[in-house]
Structure 1
Amino acid sequence: MKLKRMAGALALAALVISTFSYCTSDAKKVSGKAGGSKKTDSTGTELVAEEEIDTRTPVDTAKYNELVKKLANGDTTGKWPVKNQPYPLAGAILPFKRIVVYYGNLHSKKMGALGEYEPKEMWKRLNAEIKHWEKVDPSTPVQAGLHYIAAVASGTAGKDGKYINRMANSQIDSVLKIAKMRPNTIVFLDLQVALSNIKSELPHIEKYLELPYVHLGIDPEFSMKDGSLPGKKIGTYDAADINYVSGYLADLVKKHNLPPKVFVVHRFTKKMVTNSQSIKLRPEVQIVMHMDGWGEPDLKLGTYRHFIYGEPVQFTGFKLFYKNDLKKAPNRLMTPEELMKLKPVPIYIQYQ
């Protein structure tokens, strides 16, 4: 598959930042959250949760078993549901809700619907997608989310020579404010590390990951371990990298008494994730292996079958591209009805 997103990513540094008007709303503190130093946004406003999340009552394990079996969708190979996975801590989103998100960056109209449209129009469109999913699978509530690229692989070296453009806290704060336009929305911060590495980049967004409604995505496509410039080839993460990140998240969850973090890993080739069988599962973290390839339905289904279904980790995701998926016949977007027939059924849906 071609290097699918670089036209937008590599042009980022040259784009003029769009000005948005944002809506603010009051937020509720988290039930059961430990005390500690307050986290504030770029204006000094305290960052708190939008909803009360019960981090004390254990998950219903019988219900959990029922739902992961349902997601397996009749698979008889023994791959799904994943065996011996730990039950999550209280407050877990998956598999109790399906996450449906818009993806993008506020600097660019070319990197996804989050950034392409003004906030009110963006929410109008995302709400329509959410209603479609609720209609197709009424037994699974939808958790709305925004998936923001907080570190973008760049076409220029930058001061540190790492070819990475880290978004300012003010930009991340803007996304959190946009999220508050729809109550109880969660936010994902996505990292494209380029010539840096995941260990160096996580601390830049740690204060946001300490919030109960902020989760994480990482993109192996732009993890250039061999020193290649981003966009010249497809990058990679190993299970060791993914285990480091999940351990990092687990420590934050335990330290701050948070609900489990959802951890999304993009994938559309075999080498993007190596040694997947060695990925460690933890009660504090819910891992989504996310089919991130674009193209016609048959190509997307093949990618899902080989690299998501064929290498089970925990939960699965599926990405739909409003523009790139239409470049070749039959020039259409796959539907929720079609995705509900997959084995396993994706529980995280991303629109770009």
Structure 2
Amino acid sequence: MASPATHHHHHHLLPFSLSLSLLLFSLVVVMVLGVSAFLLEYVRKIGCKHSLERDAVSDAFFEDPNSLKKVPCPSIFDPAEKYISLIIPAYNEEHRLPGTLDETLSYLQQRSATEKSFTYEVLIVDDGSTDRTAKVAFDYVRKYKIDNVRVLLLRRNHGKGEAIRKGMLHSRGELLLMLDADGATKVTDLEKLESQIHELARSVNKVNSVASTTTSSSSNLSDTEIAACGSRAHLEKQALATRKWYRNFLMKGFHLVVLLTAGHGIRDTQCGFKMFTRAAARKLFTNIRLKRWCFDVELVYLCKKLRIPMLEISVNWSEIPGSKVRLTSIAHMLFELILIRVGYGLGIWKIHT
């Protein structure tokens, strides 16, 4: 028979473990609530900032080193003045930018020489670089004139998404292409995206002009909402073989989270080679909220929500060393993906149409 002492001891144990688990439980609840409150507040802040930025009229000018006059900054809400705009975000790219610009501009000049209707502009967005990126960029403005090459200077580093958003909102093209400063994608591949956009626009407008006989049938390209994404999905097998196992592991994990955030449809969201019609860009880039990592995923998400058709088109892509993705970036990416789900999912971020 157990002595009363041990019996007494058992008696005390239960309330103690219970209070401990209650304490732990309440700690967990407090933490969860704290994290949720932080997230919601963060999401709300981004939303407020965004609505302020959306309504702010840009008083930006382009500096023209040739005439030293200030060239007024166009808006995505103005009608198109060029056939195509190329937007190149650049952060500390003094070394890689010249090669990319030489190749890009020689291609654009060649095409505009053979096709009269082919007019272009290249917009380099200097994302607060601390090296000679701006100087390099302005050399091209001097050489090719302000009507063809423009530089947008952001006072401090905002992030690639913000640089592209700013470039898009101040472009003049019917078609707008974002591409990376490192020249990972061949510029001639823009023809693949362009021809598919034209093809889809024709079929969309054919259907519309049949449906509504009242509107003029000369529906132009810049009013048809279409997005086309360059994709490296076809290179995946080869890429998996050449990269370190942990990078592939992170990549697969990232793709899974992207799938959970934006849904399926686009296999490679992260390729920096994307083309939009003016109407699509107007809707997408006045809505986009993320500034750094996952704005690509947000674009895909917005396309779905706004019912903008997205084409995924294979492009040539060469892995350029000097990727700015670090391990900490993965944490940032996951955080931003959560923001997309929370912000749009709970309707804190309104989608303006």
TM value normalised by structure 1? 0.29
The structure with the greater share of residues assigned to helix is 2
Instruction: Give the structure with higher Rg (CA).
Output: 2
